[in-house]
Amino acid sequence: MRVSKIGKSLSHLYVQVLIGIVAGVLVGHFYPDTGSQLKPLGDLFIKLIRMLLAPIIFASVVVGIARMNDLHEAGRVGVKAVLYFEVASTIALAVGLVIVNVIRPGSGMNIDPAKIDSSAIATYTHAAQQHGMLDFFMSIVPNSVVGAFANGDILPIIFFSVLFAISLARLGPRAAPFVDMLDMFLQGMFGVVRIVMYVAPIGAFGGMAFTIARYGIGTLASFGQLMLCLYLTSVFFVVVVLGLVMRMCGLSLWKFLRYIRDEIFITLGTASTEAVLPQMLIKMEKLGCSRPVVGMVLPTGYTFNADGTAIYLTMAALFIAQAMNIHLTIWDQLLLLGVMLLTSKGSAGVAGAGFVALAATLATMHKVPVSGLVLLLGVDRFLNEARAVTNLIGNGVATIVVARWEGALDMNQARSMLNGNADTGIDAPESMSQEPTVGTAPAKETVIRPNTQPNTH
């Protein structure tokens, strides 16, 4: 009996990923030469997922918008999503700003800016030069649609997908066969995702082994106060802020975290939310969020709703200032917060993008030298894990909020899924084949059911 229980536990993906993470830490620490050569395992898994992102995002957005009853509905969902994104990002920035001023993790380091070798961050500072506000808005429109798909640029793909979906919606019933075919293509892509997910534990093992071997556990001790500060702040934001938001929606945050535990562990092991975007699209729809809302909000949130990155930006910028004994007035910090509202956008779930955003922020401010980023190089990978997981959870909650706000969330189905009354794992691909599709009927008629629960707002 005990053997069968152990075997059942090991069949869950999150358990396999957790084992991979622990094994990676052990290999990286005790066999660093071997661990430093395992980076390709993590990179290969991320590459397998990235090859699927462009077609999945395109199909999800197009099918979702094209099957809306009218274009005003699509516009309304988009406005609500952006409004929530901005409020959540501002709160995340403010929380990070307050806590880093209270704990002051960089105080006492007394770093002399003149003695810092900035050659190690040349790549990031160069990328930051193309990270200004004007460059951000210009990057929304791709030079070539084919180029955007080839490079996997999420924001330009979303922009083109929205335009294409609007044009299909205006064609009316004539476009229905093509939309049905695109929906079938999307289901096929999700099938590929389920196959790729079988190698997630190997990817998590390789990524963690390389990280520990490359930077060492000793690096964690050296910058332990900053890491502890960031992780505790992220936990506070998720538990208190997002927990309150979920309570307002009438759902349990803890149950939601349990529902997406596979994705959380994969993100922790790979330090990238890109690795779980396709599966999150499936899970949010199974949770009861309508397909149009999921298709619009979740991919867009990867660019505009980076709560973890927002917390990281404020804490890292002030950590560098404190370490270099640079005093920033309250007005300097408020200006910093305003700049970060712009630079925190566009991270798109890519590991290391937050580091580039931080470089862009410091370059814009001119108060804190960009060379101070060298102080974070050794621990950025570990910091990236915290912000990636927070980004993942934040985008899942954002999808629920917009769906609930729009009246496009089946509360009965959501509670049933969160209570574990239906299969939620990605370790059982056959169960996903039972997932209802929207076929030729309007999305709302097949996904939304009458809400018999009392309004808990």
pLDDT at 241: 94
pLDDT at 255: 93
**What residues form DSSP beta bridges with 408?**
none
With beta carbons less than 8 A apart as the criterion, state whether 27 and 38 touch: yes
pLDDT at 451: 39
- Per-position pLDDT tens, the chain of length 457: 555 666 666 667 777 888 888 888 889 888 888 888 888 888 888 788 778 878 887 887 788 777 765 667 777 888 888 899 889 988 998 998 889 888 888 777 676 666 555 554 455 445 545 455 566 667 778 888 888 888 877 778 878 888 888 888 888 788 888 888 988 898 888 788 888 888 888 888 888 788 788 766 665 665 778 888 889 999 999 999 999 999 999 999 999 999 999 899 888 887 778 778 888 998 999 999 988 888 888 888 877 788 888 888 888 888 888 888 888 888 888 887 877 776 666 554 444 556 667 776 776 666 777 777 777 766 777 788 888 899 999 999 999 999 999 888 999 999 999 987 654 444 433 333 333 333 333 333 333 333 334 343 3
pLDDT at 106: 76
DSSP state of 240: I
pLDDT at 240: 94
Give CA–CA dist 388/316, Å, rounded.
15
Give CA–CA dist 278/49, Å, rounded.
8
| Domain 2-447, architecture per CATH | Orthogonal Bundle (1.10)
Phi-psi label, residue 336: left if phi above 0, alpha if psi -120 to 50, beta otherwise: alpha
Give CA–CA dist 162/150, Å, rounded.
18
pTM for the full predicted model: 0.72
pLDDT digits (tens, 9 = 90+) for 97-117: 889 888 888 777 676 666 555
Give CA–CA dist 351/383, Å, rounded.
11
pLDDT at 69: 58
* Burial profile 149-175: b = 16 or more Cβ within 10 angstroms, e = fewer: beebbbbbbbbbbbebbbebbeeeeeb
pLDDT at 375: 72
With beta carbons less than 8 A apart as the criterion, state whether 313 and 354 touch: yes
User: What ranges do the domains of the chain cover?
Assistant: 2-447
Interior angle at CA 320, CA 213 and CA 272, nearest 5? 45
Give CA–CA dist 184/85, Å, rounded.
31
